[in-house]
Amino acid sequence: MVANDVRYTEVLRIEALGKSFKGTPVLSNVNLTVHRGETVAIIGPSGSGKTTLLRSVNFLAPYDSGKILLNGKLMGYVERGGRLQPDTDANISRLRRSTGMVFQRFALFQHRTVLQNLIEGPVHVLGLSRELACERARTALKTVGLSDKIDQYPARLSGGQQQRVGIARALCMEPDILLFDEPTSALDPELVGEVLSVMRQLRGQNRTMLIVTHEIGFAADVADRVVFMEAGAIIDDRPAREFFGKPNNARIEAFLARHRNERSSSI
């Protein structure tokens, strides 16, 4: 957000991103930059490409054209003679370490305890010693308030607790950017609050976060910037206060009005 120092603080840069599925465009000419310490919320109607955009960032969803740069490094492709060619699985995996993802349906490793879920990446991907990884895991669990569940299996936890473990698992990799894919959409309403409050806490620690969400109130409250997507394109990208203060588009205004009525629930 320090305007004249952009080159050093840019964690994610998306340039002219495009993707189509069987001839139908899913993303078209998407440009987005996220700086270190920034929290950016992506909102918009269902099917507008929010999740696809988020999954392009760590290449779980490959894109067709444009570029995704993580800390200045091209994700998913290598440039050879001015042309983009698919990168190797090993290189893509290595670059993914700078991202952490929180999934809509938690996606915890069901055959592993909470602790084992958290140290899996640090030990087997980063090559940390078990002691160091466990230390990280305990710190992360404290952050999400689940220190007492360290030896539980995921199936024994509530949805809200599972999602907090999901956040802790991402934190244990110490990524440069956290990607949230509708982290509260699969939760019972009374469990949404505990997950949002953990995310709010991460915001307080100046983590870099890109959040796809339907919790408009939360976005208004926590995001530095709001990106509005429709039909695979970004049609607004402004500081949150401006965005909500004065919607500059009738469709956005209608969308916000609809959501204010439906979901006045979020804290």
Partner 1 sequence: MIEFAATYAGLYFKGLLLGLGLTVAAMAGAFLIGLFVALARLSQRGWLRAAGGAYVALFRGIPPLVLLYLVYFGLPAWAAQVGNPFLIALLGPLDNRLLAATLAFSVNAGAYTTEIIRASIQALPADQMEAAKSIGMTHGLAMRRIVLPQSLRIAFPPLCNEFIVILKGTSLASVIGVTELMRSAQMVAAATFLNLQAYILAAMFYVVAVIVLQTLSSLIELKLLAGSTTGD
List residues near partner 1 by CB under 8 A: 58, 60, 89-90, 93-94, 96-97, 99-101, 103, 105, 107-111, 113, 120-121, 124-126, 151-153, 155-156, 169-170, 173
Quote the least distance from Cβ 225 to partner 1, whole Å: 23
State which residue, 111 or 241, has the beta carbon closest to partner 1: 111
Using an 8 Å Cβ cutoff, are 180 and 254 in contact?
no
DSSP string, 169-224: HHHHT--SEEEEESTTTTS-HHHHHHHHHHHHHHHHTT--EEEE-S-HHHHHHH-S
Q: Are 35 and 224 in contact (CB under 8 A)?
A: no
Q: How far is the CB of 167 from partner 1 (least distance, A)?
A: 12
Give the distance from CA 217 to its chain's centroid: 18
Closest by alpha carbon to 13, among 50, 46, 40? Answer: 40
Nearest to 175 by CA among 107, 108, 126: 126
Element (H, E) at 33: strand 24-35
CB nearer to partner 1: give 124 or 258: 124
Least distance between partner 1 and beta carbon 180 (Å): 12
In the complex, the smallest distance separating the C-beta of residue 71 from partner 1, rounded to whole angstroms, is 14
| Burial class, 70, CB count within 10 angstroms (exposed 0-12 / middle 13-18 / buried 19+) | buried
Report the residue number, 174 or 224, with the smaller CB distance to partner 1.
174
Residue 13 contacts residue 33 (beta carbons within 8 Å): yes
Among the listed residues 156, 245, 143, 253, the one whose alpha carbon sits nearest the alpha carbon of residue 201: 143
If the CB atoms of residues 84 and 107 are measured against partner 1, the closer one turns out to be 107
Output 94 or 258, the one with its CB closest to partner 1.
Answer: 94
**Shortest distance, position 250 Cβ to partner 1, whole Å:** 37
Nearest approach, Cβ of residue 153 and partner 1 (Å):
4
| 67/112 with CB nearer partner 1 | 112
